Chain A
Amino acid sequence: MDGEDEFAVFTSNLIKKLGNFIAVNNLNLKVKRGEIYGLLGPNGAGKTTTIKLLCNLTKPNGGKGHLLGKKFSDNTIASNIGYMPQETALYDGLTVYQNILFFGEVYGLSSKKIRNRSDELLKFINLEKWRDELVENLSGGMKHRLSLACTLIHEPKLLFLDEPTVGVDPELKMSFWNYFYKLKSMNTTILITTHYMEEAHHCDRVGFMKDGGLITEGSPTELLHQTNTDSLEDAFIKFSLGR
């Protein structure tokens, strides 16, 4: 009706209260199919809470939302979604490969598929040598890379990446973005949160989030143009001060 089908992510007046605090406040978020959408905002703006709502990990107090044309409480969409949590979310007591294997199995992939896919992903995250190392022995950045691999194992159509590049070195960050573009070219939709403004430039569109709601959205160039600034940082400040 309102075009839920046309969008990969579509929320209307989504509300989430945490105790007395309103973490997400009447959020209307629309992410088109096949685009990379960057959610930007200060700490505590509600970015993580929004992603958790979309992944059905917490129940909203109001409003509704659709993913890929289905209600987000619909269990059948889970296999099309990839969620990379802000925290590393890996089993420290398992090896790198065992983690990938486990999530592959949970997504119901065949063992052959998992093997091929994990070879591919280990190469991409550059952890081939660490394949049989326990996760607890990895560095923070390595864990982050593995976390991304576990999110991608089942080739999801819609990706929620909560600060995927935190603690990742610049070289690898570039290869992450190249990979995201490759995914986009295969029609994957990506919703990404970040604090790095230079990264926001890589997105098709960005939304500025504050106090649980969107204050504005648009392509990076549009936003710069509207505020007459040359950095998204300044643009954000202008918008958040009400221009």
Chain B
Amino acid sequence: MNFKRAFAVTKRVFKNVKNDKRTLGLMLFAPILVMLVFGVAFSGDISDVNVIIVNNDQGLETPNGTISLSKDIISNLNTTVMTMRYMDNEKSAITLVENGEEYAVIIFPKNFTTNAYSGFNNSQKSSNTYITLKGDDTIPNIKNTIQGDIISGITTTMEDKGVKSSVSLLDEPIYGKDAKFIDFFVPGVMAFAAFLLTTLLTLLTFVSEKTSGTLERLLSTPISESEIVTGYAIAFGIIGTIQAGFLLTIAILIFDIMVIGNVLLAFLVVALLAIVSQALGILLSSLAKKESQAIQFIPFIILPTFLLSGIFWPIQAIPSWIRPFSYLIPPTYAVNAARNVFLKGWGLDKIWPDVMILIIFAAIFLILAVLYLKKRTD
């Protein structure tokens, strides 16, 4: 491996991009446009969701009167988000959700207050300190908003009353406490943009290397196949990171998004994804003889990523029979890792499984790309 030769390829890619203002513009502004469109469309925070509260809790009699933790929690719920009404019968409440008239039922169990306090006293988790949320799962964003609101209601109440009990909400998944959709969305869009643009750019660049004959000229020189692939990988790793940085800056300036974790770590993940993507681009180029054919691949690259990698909704919200496909596509891991870094503040110690899998993807794809070039297909 001669890195000087590999860097020559890297520099060449950069010069090409620099001389081609249109590609440069596309690379930087397309993802921002996507983010703005989706960000604005989805940032209308969810409101006026009809929910039913079934409160089976009788409260707790104390010398100072009856205390009811459930009522306190309910009073701390956000009335803008939820339009609440009360029912006693759980079954008929659920029927209303089934009929689509209501979105969800929030159920407080019997002895909720008592158990919450005793649970605090003997520090033993009692199953009856769980609030159950039975909702319409088909619209995850709404459900997430409701969940988030209940959680914050619980937290506020517990802090007010000084109760350190294990009251929690049944039926996860819960993510992004206080997070707006855009917070959830930006890390996904960063990974998506890096994946898409790098794959497409490499695919098109490589197909044009083939059609113009430059690839053959290159292969007649002392440069090795692995040096070519390395040169490309470095170039697109850097391009992907710059692009992600640009996107993030805009996201912070315009949407004031939540960034808890280490931004550099998130960039590392995106760069890694870009390297995976460029190798994928080279591999895909083997299927296309000319640019017009390569363009036909675009839907096949975009759609699965768009639908399966968890950019817009969590993988947990994808039907379980289709979920294995999510784990077959690299952006899934990058989206997950970037999101965990941004929103949960996780470090490498926690996101390493995702990073590991990305590295494995990169290794496999890079090796395949080199082998493809070595094969000298006619």
Contacts and interface: CB of A to CB of B under 8 A. Distances in A.
B213 interface: yes
Main secondary structure of the interface of B (DSSP, over half): helix
Interface in A103-151: 103, 105-108, 134, 150
Interface stretch (B214-222, B233-241, B302-310): B214-222
B216 A52 contact: yes
Interface string A79-90: 101010111111
Nearest to B5: A106
Interface stretch (B8-16, B111-119, B170-178, B330-338): B8-16
B96 interface: no
Contacts of B161: none
Given A81-B220, A91-B214, A105 B16 contact: no
Given A18-B378, A108-B222, A98 B212 contact: no
B8 A106 contact: yes
B2 to A, nearest CB: 7
Given A57-B220, A75-B222, A94-B12, A105 B214 contact: no
A95 interface: yes
Contact of B216 (A89, A107, A108): A89
A102 B8 contact: yes
Interface string A1-33: 000000000000000001000000000000000
A106 B221 contact: yes
Interface in A56-95: 56-59, 75, 78-79, 81, 83, 85-95
B223 interface: yes
Nearest to B378: A58
Contacts of B219: 55-57
B224 interface: yes
Contacts of A94: 12, 15-16, 19
Interface string B178-221: 00000000000000000000000000000000001110111111
A2 to B, nearest CB: 25
A134 B19 contact: yes
Given A87-B212, A108-B2, A55 B220 contact: yes
Interface string B220-252: 111110000000000000000000000000000
Contacts of B212: 87-92
A91 B12 contact: yes
A90 B214 contact: yes
Contacts of A52: 216
A119 B216 CA distance: 25
B376 A78 contact: no
A56 B214 CA distance: 15
Nearest to A18: B378
A91 B220 contact: no
A57 B376 contact: yes
B225 to A, nearest CB: 10
Nearest to A94: B15
B214 A107 contact: no
B234 to A, nearest CB: 14
A3 B43 CA distance: 77
B1 to A, nearest CB: 13
B4 interface: yes
A212 B218 CA distance: 26
Nearest to A98: B15
B232 to A, nearest CB: 13
B58 to A, nearest CB: 75
A89 B214 CA distance: 4
Given A88-B213, A91-B16, A108-B5, A75 B224 contact: yes
Contacts of A108: 2, 4-5, 222
Interface in B1-42: 2, 4-5, 8-9, 11-12, 15-16, 19-20
A103 B5 CA distance: 10
Interface of A: 18, 52, 55-59, 75, 78-79, 81, 83, 85-95, 98, 102-103, 105-108, 134, 150
11 contacts: A18-B378, A55-B220, A57-B216, A58-B378, A59-B376, A78-B221, A89-B213, A89-B216, A94-B19, A102-B8, A105-B11
Given A58-B376, A91-B214, 18 more contacts: A75-B224, A78-B221, A79-B221, A83-B217, A85-B217, A89-B216, A91-B212, A95-B19, A102-B12, A105-B8, A106-B5, A106-B8, A106-B218, A106-B221, A106-B223, A107-B222, A108-B2, A134-B19
